[in-house]
Amino acid sequence: MDWARLLAVCALFTAAAGGTLWWAGLASPAPVVKAALRAVAQLAAVSAVLAVVLASLPLTAAFLVLMAAVATGTSAARTRTGRRGAWVGVAILVGTVPALAALVLTGLLPPAGLALVPVGGILIGGAMTATTLSVRRTLDTLRDRHGEYEAALALGFTEPVAVRELVRRPAAEALLPALDQTRTVGLVTLPGAFVGMLLGGAPVWQAGALQLVVLLGLLAVQAAAIATVVELVARGLVRRTSPEGEVRLT
């Protein structure tokens, strides 16, 4: 691999992203540069330890727990839910754990680090994205439609029922990216599981079959995450601890 060329292209993409944000007046380039540098450091560290982790099932399990913890912290920070942000971890795991267990128990996924870490990462990452988007949408809706919420309480609705009626549809919008990816797979996108298996020498049909399972698993995991977010918000377990204004790329 030509490392100089690789670094040059990465620097070009980072500069293009940051420069576009600055030129369009959307945000400072700083978050893009920080994210790129963090990605370099994290991937270097993970590459150094992954060979050891993948060879041990207990270490693989510990690594998956670490991934879930980082996903929870990231989602909590992005949604500004403070200490209550720990509850978003429930939304992330409620579908991910059963999905991984089903894949292993049915024999579609071998109980080995080489399979569990990448597939687990895809499912955890998808659940994190859906959780973050649905929490933001539900809490924004509660803020923007507070008068309707008060009116529902005045009509005799309990707080959970009133909240559910307001936030269900906005929360469901968090599933749109996964739906679009599933609808356009093979026509617009060739996701990572498919490409990875092809590069590893697997038959095309086998790569396609695994990708189908992963995509449908993602839909199930994200749907479970969104439904859990609605319930957590309805029960008052997830709320913002700081005012939410414009989106900040931090």
pLDDT tens-digit map of 153-201: 888 888 889 999 899 999 999 999 999 988 888 777 766 666 666 656 6
Residue-level pLDDT at 50: 81
The DSSP 8-state label assigned to residue 185 in this structure reads B
Give pLDDT, residue 145: 87
pLDDT, residue 250, reads 52
Q: Which two tokens stand for residue 70?
A: 């980082």
Answer for the pair 162, 153: CB distance below 8 angstroms, yes or no.
yes
Report the sign of the C-alpha dihedral through residues 131, 137, 138, 140, in that order. Answer: positive
Q: Please count the CA atoms within 13 angstroms of the CA of 55 that sit on its side-chain side.
A: 4
53 DSSP assignment: H
Residue 127 burial (CB < 10 Å; 0-12/13-18/19+)?
buried
Contact indicator for 103, 217 with CB cutoff of 8 Å: yes
Confidence at residue 245, expressed as pLDDT on a 0 to 100 scale: 46
Cα–Cα distance for residue pair 60/32, rounded to 1 Å: 30
Query: For the whole model, what pTM was predicted?
Result: 0.83
Instruction: Report yes or no: 113 and 54 within 8 Å, Cβ to Cβ.
Output: yes
Number of Cβ within a 10 Å radius of residue 142: 20
pLDDT of residue 242: 60
Which parts of the chain have pLDDT scores under 70? 1, 190-202, 242-250
Helices (H), the chain: 3-23, 30-54, 57-79, 88-105, 113-144, 146-154, 159-172, 176-184, 192-199, 204-234
Encoded tokens for 169: 């549809």
